[in-house]
């Protein structure tokens, strides 16, 4: 199938041409015709499947031309969870609008930088607004823009938008939007909270699910290496040197761990930098720029890098710490194996995290063989089975009420027999 078969106008197809795309991915092929017709869309598609173009092209086609003499109110709002994703999505829009015959203004707004330049940039109005929720609310509070003209809403990474404080911010924004609008929800996972929001806000949506299609699955080799926690940094250095990895994205659990691991790697002459939420926006952008330009070997990141970062030809992702959520595992390893490239995802598994990795395997219907690297064989033993430990164990492994009742009856029978 070609983009020319999806109902896109010659004008939009011409704008797409410089990006070099001719054949749509599955999510693009299914979502674009529905969105062009004005339908709401609920799309479940894995990381790296081409979701941005799936909503960007219909948005551009359905824009109304600005009317001379009238305020230029934003018509389309794209909400994203992170600054990095805002920049990435916004730049895609800016590349596309360069090929349009009439001027279309794209504004990208996010926190972590001064609000004043963004207020100045919005004085003349805008057509398409790509925003993080917190900064958008700040701009509205400063009378920097109005959402009364929004007729198209996109939630990109909808599941992440509902995490933590994003849920309250999202609800505040939704209350400011016109009731009559088209809404497009895109996500790589589909938790109950997304379903609830979709049921509330979407009108007869087109349901699109391309996650399970084998031809769309990225080519990612997954490895699980058994190692004691104290030796993970040494093992990481060994793998980088011995395997000749030029660029590696390493995921850790905390900001402190990102700083510590990056510092230890620098001490053994591996060019590494941390990446987390407490860094300034300028520093974060510089780290990503250097990483993409191959001036950095390793970026040690928290889960804020698991969503939205598009790093072309990233060969390796390492889960130094396993993700807390099985869903986050998908997003983390999805940073590699993008755009048809092959990738490698390496997981460090210790005795204490073995049960959690089994849960990840179960949730994703995978089985990853455990490996040991010579010289780094683990010495710690796996803790006792959670079913025999007092007080429960990991989720899904605790004794049920029936199990406890049987155990109590068995114990009572044993005492009576004695």
Question: What angle is formed at CA 52 by the lines to CA 46 and CA 55, rounded to 5 degrees?
Answer: 110
Overall domain count for the chain: 2
Identify the pLDDT of residue 31. 94
Q: What is the pTM of this model?
A: 0.67
User: Per the domain annotation, does 392 fall within a domain?
Assistant: no
Same domain? For 312 and 164 the reply is no
Give a three-class secondary structure readout of the chain. Answer: CCHHHCCCCHHHHHHHHHHCCCCCCHHHHHHHHHHHCCCCEEEECCCCCCHHHHHHHHHHHHCCCCCCCCCCCCCEEEEECCHHHHHHHHHHHHHHHCCCCCCCCEEEECCCCCCHHHHHHCCCCCCEEEEEHHHHHHHHHCCCCCCCCCCEEEEECHHHHCCCCHHHHHHHHHCCCCCCCEEEEEECCCCHHHHHHHHHHCCCCEEEECCCCHHHCCEEEEEEEECCHHHHHHHHHHHHHHHCCCCEEEECCCHHHHHHHHHHHHHCCCCEEEECCCCCHHHHHHHHHHHHCCCCCEEEECHHHCCCCCCCCCCEEEECCCCCCHHHHHHHHCCCCCCCCEEEEEEEECCCCHHHHHHHHHHHCCCCCEECCCCCCCCCCCCCCCCCCCCCCCCCCCCCHHHHHHHHHHHHHHHHHC
Identify the pLDDT of residue 392. 40
Identify the pLDDT of residue 277. 80
Identify the pLDDT of residue 66. 65
Last residue of a domain, one of 164, 190, 213: 213
Give a three-class secondary structure readout of 166-217. Answer: HHHHHHHHHCCCCCCCEEEEEECCCCHHHHHHHHHHCCCCEEEECCCCHHHC
CATH of residue 56's domain is 3.40.50.300
Identify the pLDDT of residue 124. 85
Same domain? For 229 and 194 the reply is no
User: Per the domain annotation, does 310 fall within a domain?
Assistant: yes
CB 334 within 8 A of CB 372: no
Query: Cα separation of 186 and 131, whole Å?
Result: 15
User: Per the domain annotation, does 8 fall within a domain?
Assistant: yes
Identify the pLDDT of residue 64. 83
Range of the domain at 179: 3-213
Same domain? For 280 and 264 the reply is yes
User: Per the domain annotation, does 387 fall within a domain?
Assistant: no
Identify the pLDDT of residue 391. 40
Same domain? For 204 and 249 the reply is no
CB 301 within 8 A of CB 314: no
Same domain? For 56 and 168 the reply is yes
Identify the pLDDT of residue 385. 53
- pLDDT, one tens digit per residue, over 331-360 is 888 888 776 678 899 999 999 999 999 999
Task: Show the low-confidence residues of the chain (pLDDT under 50).
Answer: 212-215, 387-397, 401-402, 410-418
CB 152 within 8 A of CB 77: yes
Query: Cα separation of 213 and 217, whole Å?
Result: 7
Same domain? For 182 and 319 the reply is no
CB 3 within 8 A of CB 21: yes
Identify the pLDDT of residue 67. 53
Same domain? For 130 and 229 the reply is no
Same domain? For 124 and 233 the reply is no
| Residue 188 C-alpha from the chain's centroid | 7
Identify the pLDDT of residue 47. 67
User: Per the domain annotation, does 413 fall within a domain?
Assistant: no
Same domain? For 232 and 199 the reply is no
Identify the pLDDT of residue 214. 44
Same domain? For 7 and 137 the reply is yes
Environment class of residue 69 by beta-carbon count within 10 Å: exposed (0-12), middle (13-18) or buried (19+)? exposed
């Amino acid at each position: 199938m070609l983009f020319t078969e999806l109902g896109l106008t010659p004008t939009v197809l011409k704008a797409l041409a410089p990006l070099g795309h001719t054949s749509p991915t599955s999510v693009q092929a299914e979502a674009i015709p529905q969105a062009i017709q004005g339908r709401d869309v609920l799309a479940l598609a894995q990381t790296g499947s081409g979701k941005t173009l799936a909503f960007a092209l219909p948005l551009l086609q359905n824009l109304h031309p600005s009317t001379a003499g009238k305020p230029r109110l934003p018509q389309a709002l794209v909400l994203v969870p992170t600054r990095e994703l805002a920049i990435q999505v916004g730049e895609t829009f800016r590349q596309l609008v360069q090929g349009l015959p009439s001027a279309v203004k794209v504004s990208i707004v996010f926190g972590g930088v001064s609000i004043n330049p963004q207020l100045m940039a919005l004085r003349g109005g805008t057509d398409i607004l790509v925003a993080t929720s917190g900064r958008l609310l700040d701009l509205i509070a400063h009378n920097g823009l109005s959402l009364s003209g929004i007729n198209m809403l996109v939630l990109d990474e909808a599941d992440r938008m509902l995490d933590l404080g994003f849920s309250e911010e999202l609800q505040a924004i939704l209350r400011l939007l016109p009731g009559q609008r088209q809404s497009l929800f895109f996500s790589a996972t589909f938790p109950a909270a997304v379903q609830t929001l979709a049921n509330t806000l979407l009108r007869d949506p087109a349901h699109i699910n391309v996650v399970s299609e084998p031809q769309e699955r990225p080519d990612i080799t997954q490895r699980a290496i058994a190692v004691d926690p104290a030796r993970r940094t040494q093992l990481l250095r060994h793998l980088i040197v011995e395997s000749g990895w030029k660029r590696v994205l390493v995921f850790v659990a905390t900001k402190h761990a990102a700083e510590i691991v990056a510092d230890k790697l620098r001490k053994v002459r591996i060019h590494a930098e941390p990446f987390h939420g407490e860094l300034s926006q300028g520093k974060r952008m510089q780290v990503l720029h250097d990483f993409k330009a191959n001036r950095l070997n390793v970026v040690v990141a928290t889960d804020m890098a698991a969503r939205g970062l598009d790093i072309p030809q990233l060969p390796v992702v390492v889960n130094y710490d396993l993700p807390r959520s099985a869903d986050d595992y998908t997003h983390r390893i999805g940073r590699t194996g993008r755009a048809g490239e092959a990738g490698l995802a390496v997981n460090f598994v210790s005795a204490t995290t073995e049960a959690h990795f089994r849960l990840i395997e179960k949730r994703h219907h995978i089985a990853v063989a455990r490996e040991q690297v010579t010289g780094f064989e683990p010495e710690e033993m796996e803790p006792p089975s959670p079913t025999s430990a007092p007080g429960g164990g990991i989720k899904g492994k605790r004794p049920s009420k029936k199990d406890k009742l049987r155990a109590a009856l068995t114990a009572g029978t044993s005492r009576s027999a004695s």
